[in-house]
């Protein structure tokens, strides 16, 4: 929640006020709603994009990692036999 507040005020021009929503002008309400929506979108999309990148990397490395992990017990068994 602090990230949304910081982004909305510092980057998306949210205008803090002590007035109720009914007392605000329609322009102020639209600006604040857009600012909050944009900040919330950024705080959701950036982490999801990072997750997508890392999961893609894991899918590329998984076959080699699996082969290596399956070969390890075979190497140990062969070493014990010699």
Q: Which of 29-33, 64-68, 75-79 has the highest mean pLDDT?
A: 29-33
pLDDT digit string, tens, across residues 11-59? 999 999 999 999 999 999 999 999 999 999 999 999 999 999 999 999 9
Neighbours of 6 (CB within 10 A): 13
Q: Does pTM top 0.75 for this prediction? A: no
Torsion of CA 7, 13, 17, 23, to 10 degrees: -130
Top pLDDT among 72 and 24 is at 24
| Token pair of 30 as six digits | 């639209």
Phi-psi region at 24: left, alpha or beta (left = phi > 0; alpha = psi -120 to 50): beta
Predicted local confidence at residue 82, as pLDDT: 61
Looking at residue 75, its pLDDT comes to: 73
């Amino acid at each position: 929640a602090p990230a949304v507040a910081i982004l909305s005020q510092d980057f998306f021009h949210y205008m803090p006020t002590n007035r109720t929503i009914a007392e605000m002008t329609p322009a102020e309400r639209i600006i604040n709603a857009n600012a909050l929506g944009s900040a919330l979108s950024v705080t959701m999309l950036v982490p999801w994009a990072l997750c997508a990148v890392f999961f893609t990397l894991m899918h590329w490395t998984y076959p080699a990692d699996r082969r290596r992990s399956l070969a390890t017990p075979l190497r140990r068994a062969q070493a014990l036999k010699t």
